[in-house]
Amino acid sequence: MWYTARMYYCNNYTLAVVFCVITMLCWGSWGNTQKLAGRTWRYELFYWDYVIGVLLFALVSGLTFGSHFGGEAWSFIPNLKQASAANIGSAFLGGVVFNAANILLAAAISIAGMSVAFPVGIGLALVLGVIINYVSDGKGNPVLLFSGVAIIAVAILCNAFAYKIKQANETSGQRSGLVKGIVLSVICGVLMSTFYYFVGRTMPEKFEDFAAAAPKAGLLTPYAAFFVFAFGVFVSTFVFNAIAMRRPVSGEPINELAYFKGSFPVHLVGMLGGLIWGLGFGINLVAAGKAGTAISYGLGQGATLVSALWGILVWREFKGAPPKAGLLNLAMFVLFLAGLGLIIAAGA
């Protein structure tokens, strides 16, 4: 990690991989805050605080690491002022698309659990997203990259079969929740695969560009792109989450006034979830200048592995499932690690 008088950036591939691993840990762990809040708090209400947390992190990181308290061309505020309308719109659209996908993910977590929603939804997003972003920037060895993606696809299939075995032991009401959760996760995955492209295309293509005296006209720094993205998430929440509250996937409809009935600790848990996710995304965008968007995105979405571990080992979401389900989940973890290893090698 290096910095100029203008901003912090990443100029080392190994460090970029470390950043992407941190992203993976953050993106795979924020869902725990929803699980914690969900004991007494509807996910639709949790989501308002989560979004506020993401926006706050984007703003603070832009004004600090993204500015280094300087006023030059790379600095956060000047960079936003010179950005083109097309790039502002693209990063904003990325936030809107992500938000639609993430609300579906939150809904899937609420009815089917982390070990269902993440492997299906985010695993699918990883496969499709790597393809989309590789076509966009072409960074990385394609044989290693897509071999890694193929292995991860097999891991997702192992996970799906594990759910099928688990489902056979559930009551009819539980099976209904699993089916609905898987459907929501698939739709989430398709949408989630596209958001990074809209954000990544607004930034300089390689880290050497950051050594220039000023960014190319109209482009955003990772910090500015993150903030515009987060603003898109925040604004679209007033539409998407309002719909989710009035037409919930489970439970009775609720209105916005219910949000103000939550305790201060409950609101803090939601904001913590947003801060955790925001940390992962912020450093992932910084790493993309060196690793490329396909590899940064692919490694970050290895969050599936982390979230599945949380769901299985901590939340015991596969408790009582037949031994075959456990073996399939073990195969998923091994294959996922192998696939992520190939993705890392693809950028080296």
- As a whole number of angstroms, the distance between CA 69 and CA 263 comes to 35
Domain boundaries of the chain, sorted by first residue: 22-347
- As a whole number of angstroms, the distance between CA 292 and CA 298 comes to 10
- In terms of Cβ atoms closer than 10 Å to its own Cβ (0-12, 13-18, 19+), residue 165 is middle
The series of mean pLDDT values per 10 residues for the chain, 348 residues long, is 61 91 92 85 93 97 80 80 96 97 85 74 87 89 94 84 74 63 90 95 76 76 96 97 89 92 94 97 92 91 83 83 91 92 91
Q: What is the pLDDT of residue 240?
A: 95
Query: pLDDT per residue over 195-234, tens digit each?
Result: 999 999 999 876 566 656 566 789 999 999 999 999 999 9
Q: What is the pLDDT of residue 271?
A: 97
Q: What is the pLDDT of residue 132?
A: 94
The neighbour count for residue 145, using CB atoms within 10 Å, is 24
Q: Which of 344, 234, 346 is nearest to 300 (CA)?
A: 344
State how far Cα 23 lies from the chain centre.
8
Query: pLDDT per residue over 266-302, tens digit each?
Result: 999 999 999 999 999 999 999 998 898 999 999 988 8
Q: What is the pLDDT of residue 275?
A: 97
